[in-house]
Structure 1
Amino acid sequence: MSQPSGADVVVVGAGIIGAACAEALSAAGVRVIVVDRGAPASGTTAAGEGNVLVSDKEPGPELALAIASRREWPAVLARLPERTADVEWEDKGGLVVATTDPGPLAAFAQKQQAAGVDARVITPADAFELEPLLTRAITAAVHYPEDAQLQPVLAATALLAGVRARGGQVRAGVTAQSVLRDAGGRVIALETDAGTIPCGAVLNACGPWAGSFGAAAGAAIEIHPRRGMILVTSPLPECVKHKVYDADYVGAVGSGDAELQTSTVVESTRAGTVLIGSSRERIGFDDSVRVKVLRELARKAVGLFPFLGEVAVMRAYGGFRPYAPDHLPVIGADPRIQGLWHATGHEGAGIGLAASTGRLITELFLGLEPHVDPAPFRVDRPAVIEAMEPTP
């Protein structure tokens, strides 16, 4: 059975990346349908902290994308329907601290400054002015005024509302199965469990499941799940004013180690709760609760903010980040199948990178001048696909 209407692009995945791509495409006049096997924003996006960061990335392609995306997010939010535009955006800034040797943190900040990041090396006394409840064991700190935060589910929902407002569709509970191609090998439709959707292109924005959908479509890519856990406290009076994390966080983000890694990340939400992270672990799609991970997160958080030792934890949650072996997102057209595109592999940075990812996909799709260099994120790089032979 075929659906009566098609689209220029069908986006598979209604998380923050799929929603941002669909919104940017629809804003440019492209007819879009978004499908998701579950509810919109119910997968990886629902398990995110909402970070829009420039502070945690080494100079290079991902940092360039992060800087561009930080600038892009306000423009994206400004064009969304007013009734959905409140996504709890906060220009709160970030604070990175060290409790051991201060040298590496200062050196990292210096490299970021050279790359265009507003990274302000401050004294421990200055850090206590910004965050009075910090441990007095701080030896160094860097203030990042550009770091921001939003509520990821609200953001994805608002982006999808923008798609609908321009005539696009969002179809929940529809599982994408494969793509249909014409005699020349070009994509002409998406096959789903609810029927076939005619289209000119399919965008794989399936997050940690992007590798599976790519394989089903005939163009496998190396994307794997990397699990993370977060603790949530009971609501508190204002106590943590910035996103605060220890200097180990940068190393954990960039590591390819499959074993458990934890680093302290503490931030408040508009609701008054405090989010405590973060962990990284490559254990497939195992979603069992691991008490040792939660215990480690709590121990490290108390080391950074001692007052948390007296605060009740309300709940814990976890999710799977889409991990690419070279730690770079996959953004662009698949050279093996004409009309198949990918936007995935952002790991824990998807919320922050979503705005520029959507813009870049749109620029590439329409043949416009890209606002960032797309080459580092191309699909046909060694870490993502094994060979370039056309798929039969």
Structure 2
Amino acid sequence: MRVLREDQENRDGRRDRQVQDDGDGGGGNGGGADVVIVGSGVVGAACAEALTRRGARVLVLDRGPLAAGTTACGEGNLLVSNKAPGPGLALAQASLSRWPRLLAALREELGPGRAECEYEVKGGLVVATGEPEGAALRDFAAAQRAAGVDARELPPGEAAAYEPHLTPAVRAAVHYPQDAQLQPVLAATSLLAAVRARGGRIRTGVEVTGVETGRDGRAVGVRTSQGRVPCGAVVNACGPWAGEFAAAAGVPLPVVPRRGTVLVTAPLPHGTVRHKVYDAGYAETARSEDAALRVAAVVEATQAGTVLIGSSRQRCGFDGTLRAGVLGALARAAAQLFPVLGGVPVMRAYGGFRPYTPDHLPVVGEDPRRPGLWHATGHEGAGIGLAAATGELLAELWAGEPPHLDPEPFRVQRFGTARLGTARFGRENGWH
């Protein structure tokens, strides 16, 4: 589920105070860089932090305000509960263990006042109300445990001890104590504050219009709305817009937007919802491959007492229209899971776009069709949770270091570079 936090004004104020734009527009007068990162969301920020920690001269460019795209529409979940065994889970486990160490290092470097991200290990609870769904949930949790996930199966009656307002219709429940949460915009701007403190540069309001190449086809710079910037490498961290950016660079990439919508309730008494709670069908919804609307109940409280209700997934391009049918489906699913929500007013609804790939894995690494162009995108609804490990992996590969996990499942080559080599292939597969 991708959502906007309820404390929009406070968050924006903290973001503005935390990282100041460097102000020269990012054009030719600003000089070159070892690496230009396109996109200031949490994934781009994590890449910039990891690269500057290795001494790279980094320039972060964004056409909008800092972390104002998909990151600003995220509730900040760091989850392993929804990941099946495989490379996606391995990346999630690496990132989940890395986030607290990274945040501690940022506090040491910047001071506590500039690196507080509301990090909380609140745990997750996945429930099923039907017997077939319960059996599937138990099997899923058993496979996760074999892969090192702390997945604790609960007797149906014990779920109420974790969530007193949960429906009594629960037939199976699994508690995931490792699941955590942080404030995504504060996380991104804390990372960018460290980048700037190390000499990195950050420019907002600058649109990157193309990638410049040398005679050998290698990326040697970017063209922007305010001039040319020479560089040694370019990182495509454009989130849902990464496919468009890659296509403009001559290397089509199967990343498209997948829309999500969330409801925000009026504030409720503390403890009404204690964990991130979702129906067992959520994981299957997230893994779905078709473009049709998918809805599964996901319920979570914020520190301000409001309750966030999702989750929906639909591939409909960049259509941002809020649909009454989607809002109604979300409300009904949440009330079935938490009957207490049935009479609670909804203050507002938000929508956002996730960067979707056909195999539900991110793309991380250098593009062999355009040496010097790197991708860090395609995380769909898990970018905030996966950002810490993604940034580290990209920086390790850029620096020629041994990677902390196998990078092969995330390379662009898995889609077939022969097919990816033309824009026509992207259009035929509905990517653009």
Q: Is TM more than 0.5 here? A: yes
Residue identity in the other structure for 1:146: Q
CA distance in 2, matches of 1:333, 1:157: 25
The alpha carbon displacement at 1:186 in A equals 2.0
**1:107 partner SS:** helix
SS of structure 2 residue aligned to 1:256: coil
Task: Tell me the distance in 2 between the aligned counterparts of 1:183 and 1:307.
Answer: 65
SS in 2 for 1:197: strand
For residues 420 and 203 of structure 2, the distance between their equivalents in structure 1, rounded to whole angstroms, comes to 34
Report SS of the residue matched to 1:380: helix
Task: Tell me the alpha carbon deviations over residues 161-180 of structure 1, each in whole angstroms, 9 at most, x when there is no partner.
Answer: 11111111111010011111
Match of 2:123 among 85, 93, 96: 93
- In 1, Cα distance between equivalents of 2:416 and 2:277: 32
* Preserved CA contact (<8 Å) 1:53 1:147: yes
% identical aligned pairs: 61
Match of 2:314 among 275, 281, 302: 281
Structure 2 CA distance for aligned equivalents of residues 265 and 176 of structure 1: 36
Structural mapping, 1:1-20, within 5 Å: 2-20=28-46
Q: TM-score, normalised by structure 2?
A: 0.88
* Aligned pairs for 1:27-46 within 5 A: 27-46=53-72
1:221 and 1:385 in contact (8 A); partners too: no
Q: Deviations over 1:98-133 (max 9, x none)?
A: 000121110000000001100000112221111111
1:7–1:360: structure 2 CA closer, same or farther, 3 Å change rule?
same
The number of aligned residues is 389
Residue deviations 1:50-91 (CA, integer Å, cap 9, x gap): 111000011100000000000011111112222221111110
Shift of 1:349: 0.6
Shift of 1:233: 1.1
1:383 Cα offset (Å)? 6.4
| Aligned counterparts of 1:384 and 1:246: Cα–Cα separation in 2 | 38
Q: Which residue of 1 aligns with 2:230?
A: 198
Mapped partners of 1:222, 1:3: distance in 2: 34
Partner of 1:213: 245
For residues 259-300 of structure 1, what are the alpha-carbon distances to aligned partners after superposition, in whole Å with 9 as ceiling and x for unaligned? 100001111111211111100001111001111101100100
Matched, 1:263 2:263: no
Distance 1:49 1:257 in 2: 24
Residues 252 and 420 of structure 2 are in contact (CA less than 8 Å); yes or no, is this contact kept in structure 1? no
Equivalent in 21, 46, 65 of residue 91 of structure 2: 65
Name the CA shift for 1:197/1:242 in 2 (closer, same or farther; >3 Å).
same
**Pairwise CA distance, 1:4:** 3.5
Counterparts of 2:239 and 2:296 in 1: how far apart (Å)? 23
| Secondary structure of 2:413's aligned partner | coil
- Matched residues in 2 for 1:383 and 1:226: separation? 22
**Among residues 156, 164, 173, which one is paired with 1:141 in the alignment?**
173
- Letter of the aligned partner of 1:92 in structure 2? K
Q: C-alpha distance in 2, partners of 1:367/1:292?
A: 50
Cα distance between partner residues in 2 of 1:342 and 1:257: 24
Partner of residue 380, structure 1: 413
Q: Is the 8 A contact 2:166 2:337 kept in 1?
A: yes
Deviation of 1:388 after TM superposition, in Å, equals: 5.6
- Name the amino acid aligned to 1:193: S
Deviations 1:235-258 (A, max 9, x none): 222111111001000100111121
Residue 384 of structure 1 deviates from its aligned partner by 7.8
Equivalent runs, 1:220-259 vs 2, <5 Å: 220-238=252-270, 239-259=272-292
- The 2-side partners of 1:146 and 1:255 are apart by 25
Of residues 76, 88, 109, the one that matches 2:141 is 109
Separation of aligned partners in 1, 2:51 and 2:310: 33
Q: Segments of 4+ in structure 1 off by > 4 A?
A: none
2:396 to 346, 363, 372: 363
Distance 1:133 1:273 in 2: 15
Aligned CA distance change for structure 1 residues 26 and 249 (closer, same or farther; 3 Å)? same
Aligned mates of 2:182, 2:300 — CA distance in 1: 12
Secondary structure in structure 1 of the residue aligned to 2:309: strand
Structure 1: how far apart are the matches of 2:269 and 2:341?
13
AA matched with 1:173: G
Kept in 1: contact 2:251–2:421 (CA 8 A): no
Gaps of 5+ in 2: 1-26, 423-432
CA RMSD of aligned residues (A): 1.3
Q: For the residues of structure 1 that align with 2:70 and 2:273, how far apart are their CA atoms?
A: 25
Report whether the alignment pairs 1:187 with 2:219. Answer: yes
Residues 50/156 of structure 1: CA separation in 2 closer, same or farther (3 Å cut): same
Structure-to-structure mapping, 1:110-189, within 5 angstroms:
110-189=142-221
TM-score by length of 1: 0.97
Question: What SS is found at the alignment partner of 2:203?
Answer: strand
Unaligned runs of 5+ in 1: none
Measured in 1, the distance between the counterparts of 2:417 and 2:338 equals: 40
Cα contact 2:253–2:420 (8 A) shared by 1:
no
Moved more, 331-340 or 123-132: 123-132
Is 1:74 paired with 2:107? Answer: no
Any idea what the Cα deviations from partners look like across 1:347-374, whole Å, max 9, x if unmatched? 0010110000000001000011111110
Shift of 1:387: 4.2
Letter in 2 for 1:246: D
Question: CA separation in 2, counterparts of 1:190 and 1:135?
Answer: 54
